[in-house]
Amino acid sequence: MILVADSGSSKCDWVLINNHGEWVDKIKTEGLNPLLLSKKNISNTIDKVQHLLNKKHDSTIDKIYFYGAGCGSSGSGNLIKDLLYTTFNQAKYIRVEEDIIAAVHATTQEPGVICILGTGANCCYFDGRRVIQKTPALGYLLADEGSGNYFGREVIKSYYLKKLPLDLEESFEKEFGADLNLLLQKLHNVDSPNKYLASFATFIFKHRQHPFIENMLHQGIAKFIDSYLLNYKEELLDSPIHFVGSIAYYAQDVIKKSLDERGFIVKSFIKKPVGHLVNNIINKNIL
């Protein structure tokens, strides 16, 4: 059997396919970003997956395709690969790639610019054969403009720096409380601060009707376009844009409008790539 994993920074979707290309099972775990988590933490999650699948299925998993945030460098990718080989010790072939590759395979077979706007942010160009990444994913400590952790941070900052209009201030307190110490302690102690920050981004989609929030959303998307997308100016002259990730999915009207104003064409929005990824893998024999 073949195991395909698509791991963002927050969540990881695992799909089990049999050798005829049929879906056999699907499970969900925490994300496994090797830049943010300890080896022990990642290893525990992989063990959990193995245990769950082993309990339900007799056949051996002999191939694993793992696509993950933070797996862009050979060092971090190899860490995941080693841990997968250790746990799935009957696997004959394991491949680990950055999540942007999953986003490409999930969205298109044609040339295009493919963006991720989920917990984190990323962008690349696919020429129909190869993936070309002009700028790397920098993660929540450096960049991620327009991502879930970016918008979460903006919401928190606006509240504590007293920029929120009164009605939104009340909504924030009702939803998240007003205890900054508690927030800072959590932020500095959770395993994935980026995921914790991104949990505050739900606020903007709950309050989209508010002009302050609408403006925040437009500004964040504009920053993503300027920081990442415009590095592919030439490629965009004759390639469409595809988006993957929940922030892109829920903000698709803003993204469409912003890109339309700049003369670019958006072709698709996919909230979660794993289903499309697996289908494309099966139908088009990508693996």
User: Which residues contact its own copies by CB under 8 A?
Assistant: 35-36, 73, 75-76, 134-136, 138-139, 141-143, 153, 156-157, 160-162, 180-181, 184-185, 187-188, 193, 197, 227-228, 231
First-to-last CA distance in the chain? Answer: 13
Sign of CA dihedral 86, 90, 283, 53: negative
Minimum distance between the CB of residue 47 and its own copies, rounded to whole angstroms? 23
- Please tell me the distance from the alpha carbon of residue 58 to that of residue 52, in angstroms, as a whole number: 12
Minimum distance between the CB of residue 116 and its own copies, rounded to whole angstroms? 15
Q: Would you give the DSSP letter of residue 210?
A: S
- The residue among 43 and 192 lying less far from its own copies, judged by its C-beta, is 192
Q: What are phi and psi of 86, to 5 degrees?
A: -65, -45
Minimum distance between the CB of residue 138 and its own copies, rounded to whole angstroms? 6
Minimum distance between the CB of residue 45 and its own copies, rounded to whole angstroms? 18
Minimum distance between the CB of residue 251 and its own copies, rounded to whole angstroms? 21
Q: H helices of the chain, where? A: 39-56, 74-87, 99-107, 148-160, 166-176, 180-189, 193-198, 202-206, 211-227, 233-236, 246-250, 252-261, 274-284
- The residue among 76 and 239 lying less far from its own copies, judged by its C-beta, is 76
- The residue among 50 and 227 lying less far from its own copies, judged by its C-beta, is 227
Residue type, 260: D
- The residue among 160 and 249 lying less far from its own copies, judged by its C-beta, is 160
- The residue among 173 and 253 lying less far from its own copies, judged by its C-beta, is 173
Do the strands 266-270 and 241-244 form a parallel or antiparallel pair, or are they unpaired? parallel
